[in-house]
A and B are shown apart, each in its own frame.
Chain A
Amino acid sequence: MPNHVAVIMDGNRRWAGSRNFPIVFGYEAGFRAFKRLIELACNWGIGTLTVFAFSSENWCRPKAETDLLMGLFERILRFELEHFMRENIRISLIGDATKLPKQLQSLLVDAVEATQNNSRLHLIVAANYSGRSDVVQACRKIAFKVKDGLIDPNDINEYLVERELETSCTDFPHPDLLIRTSGELRMSNFLLWQLAYTELYFTNALWPDFGESEFLEALCSFQQRQRRYGGNL
């Protein structure tokens, strides 16, 4: 079983479009699928779940749509925090929260603090996150340490970079399995460094339609993979 699963929850707008619904219905259906995913992860003993809620590239969407999404995130945090506490779910946030609306920022900070001792499932939410920016900010922190004479450039190694990545909030920053819905075959700048050896699973199902059977298919596919990490079997 994968210990850490990452999910790109793609296809909410297409789902709404195919039914002639307004986009907000797509996002709300997407949220229901997200709740189902959390329950499945808990039931199947997944330790860490990282979800791509909002990419830094999504700011290019129309303002009305991004406002809608931010509003939805706020509603979710307000109404679901109690549920996360009950289910013993820990929430962490990766990404540049400073660009999010102030109210959402403070709700996120509260949620992270309130759930920090929970241990059943570690839910990492990537909001306004970019894999490349994560690597750059890690290298920047290391560059400051070099400038301050704390380390020599020759001391820079993969372990040092990994420690400075935003995913250092977990002991298992490398997803075993990444699921992307809606048939798109791209990483879209999500978790760059951390995906070095991740098994990738792509499904045509749109995110709001992703349920237990789709999740089990992904798990089955994972179990059939032979992970060699470049070495021998």
Chain B
Amino acid sequence: MRKSLFRILSVGPIPNHIAFILDGNRRYAKKRNLNEGMGYRAGFLSLMTLCKYCCELGVKYVTIYAFSIDNFKRKPHEVDAVMDLMLEKIQGMLKEESIVSQYGVRVYFIGNLELLNEHVRQAAVKAMEATSNNDKIVLLICVAYTSTDEIVHAARESCEAKRARVRSSGAREGNEEELKVVDIERHMYMGVAPDPDILVRTSGETRLSNFLLWQTSNCVLYSPRALWPEIGLRHLVWAVLNYQRVFPLLERRRKQM
């Protein structure tokens, strides 16, 4: 049934890149009288299901806001629980029977990874290496990420790169060209993917929470009321239909630019 639905959707343009803010895991746990950890686990199952659907639909990039730098402000035991779960799931990705392997998912961890503990960071690096040859769909996991931190990092790297170029070429600094958009974009963590076409935030909150501010300047926004663990096929279909509705206008704008 899903195959036929996706075939119908494919008559129109399919978004190349969908980004998700996975909001509502804790509220879901509270609603079901579960502990918070179970909320995050339920959220992880939803993530795997969504990735599967996106892959089947022909979406090439999926980005998720797994953990913001701001989330480090939460209670220590909560942060630890999320980090432990992340470590468990990242290690799970490396197994052959995981969805990542079965569906050919290439994984990137996007963010200021130095802020993560050693175990999680190492596991993340390993997972990126292990999946680097997968080519069916790319999953970008934003962890220890905020958009403003990403921009600052890109600015720093651009300045360092300019300095290094000047030193190595022996040219006078005065001959250097001024900083351009491409300089910033080249050094963004998200430079490995095109800009998202759709940004979905679950749980009815309508704000960006410092996620992909640069990349979503012309992205279609969708904020369903469903909590993240409740997200399903119908939400994905609705998001794609909305995208298809405004696509002609967005294409015209892109061509004019």
The residues of A with any CB-CB pair to B shorter than 8 Å are 57, 60, 131-133, 135-136, 139-140, 142-144, 146-147, 153-154, 156-158, 161, 184-190, 192-193, 195-202, 225-226, 229-232
Which residue of chain B lies nearest to A137 when distances are taken between CB atoms in the complex? Answer: B179
Q: Does B34 contact A (CB under 8 A)?
A: no
Interfacial chain B residues near A144, Cβ < 8 Å: 178
A153 to B156, CA, bound (A): 5
Contact between chains at A187 and B217 (CB < 8 Å)? yes
What per-residue 1/0 map shows which CB atoms of B176-218 lie under 8 Å from chain A?
Answer: 1011110010000000000000000000011111100110111
In the complex, which of the residues B158, B163, B213 has the most CB atoms of chain A within 10 Å of its own CB atom?
B213
Interfacial chain B residues near A189, Cβ < 8 Å: 217-218
> CB < 8 Å: which of B151, B154, B157, B256 contacts A60?
B256
A201 to B206, CA, bound (A): 7
> CB < 8 Å: which of B151, B210, B242 contacts A135?
B151
Contact between chains at A231 and B156 (CB < 8 Å)? no
Which residue of chain A lies nearest to B160 when distances are taken between CB atoms in the complex? Answer: A153
A115 to B33, CA, bound (A): 57
B54 to chain A, nearest CB (A): 20
Which residue of chain B lies nearest to A148 when distances are taken between CB atoms in the complex? Answer: B173
Given contacts A60-B253, A230-B70, contact A197 B152 (CB under 8 A): no
Q: Does B220 contact A (CB under 8 A)?
A: yes
Interfacial chain A residues near B73, Cβ < 8 Å: 229-232
Contact between chains at A153 and B159 (CB < 8 Å)? yes
A25 to B206, CA, bound (A): 32
A134 to B137, CA, bound (A): 33
A200 to B242, CA, bound (A): 18
Contact between chains at B218 and A186 (CB < 8 Å)? yes
Contact between chains at A230 and B68 (CB < 8 Å)? yes
Interfacial chain A residues near B218, Cβ < 8 Å: 186-189
Interfacial chain A residues near B173, Cβ < 8 Å: 147
Interfacial chain A residues near B179, Cβ < 8 Å: 136, 139-140, 143
Contact between chains at B184 and A156 (CB < 8 Å)? no
Which residue of chain A lies nearest to B216 when distances are taken between CB atoms in the complex? Answer: A187
What per-residue 1/0 map shows which CB atoms of B72-95 lie under 8 Å from chain A?
Answer: 011100100000000000000000
> CB < 8 Å: which of A60, A185, A188 contacts B222?
A185
Given contacts A132-B181, A197-B209, contact A186 B219 (CB under 8 A): yes
Contact between chains at A231 and B74 (CB < 8 Å)? yes
Contact between chains at B208 and A198 (CB < 8 Å)? yes
Interfacial chain A residues near B181, Cβ < 8 Å: 132-133, 136
Interfacial chain A residues near B78, Cβ < 8 Å: 232
Interfacial chain B residues near A198, Cβ < 8 Å: 207-208
Interfacial chain A residues near B257, Cβ < 8 Å: 57, 60
Contact between chains at A143 and B155 (CB < 8 Å)? yes
B80 to chain A, nearest CB (A): 14
Segment 42-85 of B: residues with Cβ below 8 Å from A: 68-71, 73-75, 78
Interfacial chain A residues near B149, Cβ < 8 Å: 158
Which residue of chain A lies nearest to B250 when distances are taken between CB atoms in the complex? Answer: A186
For this complex, 6 residue pairs linking A to B, each with C-beta atoms less than 8 Å apart, are: A57-B257, A139-B155, A187-B219, A192-B214, A201-B206, A231-B71
A140 to B253, CA, bound (A): 27
Which residue of chain A lies nearest to B151 when distances are taken between CB atoms in the complex? Answer: A135
Which residue of chain B lies nearest to A177 when distances are taken between CB atoms in the complex? Answer: B207
What per-residue 1/0 map shows which CB atoms of B120-162 lie under 8 Å from chain A?
Answer: 0000000000000000000000000011110110111111101
Interfacial chain A residues near B207, Cβ < 8 Å: 197-200, 225
Contact between chains at A143 and B162 (CB < 8 Å)? yes
Contact between chains at B208 and A140 (CB < 8 Å)? no
A61 to chain B, nearest CB (A): 9
A193 to B215, CA, bound (A): 11
Given contacts A158-B149, A229-B70, contact A185 B220 (CB under 8 A): yes
